Amino acid sequence: MSLRINDTAPDFTAETTQGTIRFHEWIGNSWAILFSHPKDFTPVCTTELGYMAKIEPEFTRRNCKLIGLSVDPVDNHARWAKDIEETQGYLPKYPMIGDTDLAVAKLYNMLPAAEPGTSEGRTAAANATVRSVFIIAPDKTIKLMMTYPMTTGRNFDEILRVLDSMQMTAKHKIATPVNWKQGDDVIIAGSVSDDDAKKLFPQGWKAPKPYLRIVKQPS
Residues 6+ apart with CB under 8 A from 151: 44
Tell me, yes or no, if 64 is annotated catalytic: no
Helix 156-172 / helix 43-61 crossing angle, nearest 10 deg: 30
- Burial (0-12, 13-18, 19+ Cβ within 10 Å), 28: exposed
**90 near 54, Cβ under 8 Å?**
yes
DSSP 8-state assignment for residue 113: P
Distance CA 153, CA 8 (A): 27
Distance CA 203, CA 44 (A): 47
Other beta carbons less than 10 A from residue 126's beta carbon: 15
Distance CA 144, CA 159 (A): 9
Candidate list 32, 45, 159, 188, residue with the active-site label: 45
Positions annotated as catalytic residues are 45
